[in-house]
Amino acid sequence: MHQNIGFKLSRLPRLWRAILDKRLAPLDLTQTRWITLYHLWRLGDGQAQCDLARAIGVEAPSLVRTLDQLAEQGLIERCPCDQDRRSKRIFLTPQATPLLQQIDAVVNQARAEMLAGLSDEDIANLDELLTRIERNGLEIQAREESEADESPHSVT
């Protein structure tokens, strides 16, 4: 049983996104675009590009092309940051609001269907367990990065 948990944890996000992608296809949005818009909407306007990339889980340079496309569609605006002119802050345009409401409705419906048969208590427990697993993973990652930084590097 324990051996399959990792596989299940890796399959679920792909399944979740595949369902959402299919349902969002009529809105003519790629997965990258709707995820970017949705995260920006949830995080709030004025996010720094690098913070948005971190929240989505992509490298900042990878996000630039998506932001270019969203700006071309008139869904976002990039403005220079007052404190750091090299940094850009991302803002949703009024044109994005109806689209985001449609995305949110699809996400909420899919979530309800995916969590069907689970009680509120089950969902709260699942959330707590997933948070604990994520925290453990982040601690492992930090420890291993620290150990890698401390080990001598060999030059060949």
The 3-state DSSP class for residue 90 equals strand
Whether the predicted model's global pTM rises above the 0.85 cut:
no
Q: Over the stretch 34-91, which tens digit does the pLDDT of each residue have? A: 999 999 999 998 898 888 998 998 988 889 999 999 999 999 999 887 776 677 899 9
C-alpha angle with apex 130: 11 to 141, nearest 5 degrees? 85
pLDDT at residue 137 greater than cutoff 90: yes
pLDDT at residue 3 greater than cutoff 80: no
Which pLDDT belongs to residue 2? 75
C-alpha–C-alpha distance, residues 154 and 19, integer Å: 47
Q: Over the stretch 15-28, which tens digit does the pLDDT of each residue have? A: 999 999 999 999 88
**Per-residue pLDDT band at 96 (split at 50, 70, 90):** very high
Which pLDDT belongs to residue 1? 60
Q: Which CATH class is domain 14-116?
A: mainly alpha
* Ramachandran region, residue 24 (left: φ > 0; alpha: ψ -120 to 50; beta: rest): alpha
Q: Which two tokens stand for residue 155?
A: 């030059």
Which pLDDT belongs to residue 85? 67
- Bridge partners (DSSP) of residue 88 are 80
58 CB neighbour count, 10 Å cutoff:
15
Which pLDDT belongs to residue 82? 74
Q: Which residues of 27-46 are buried (b: 16+ CB within 10 A; e: fewer)?
A: eebeebbbbbbbbbbeeeee
Q: Which two tokens stand for residue 115?
A: 């969590």
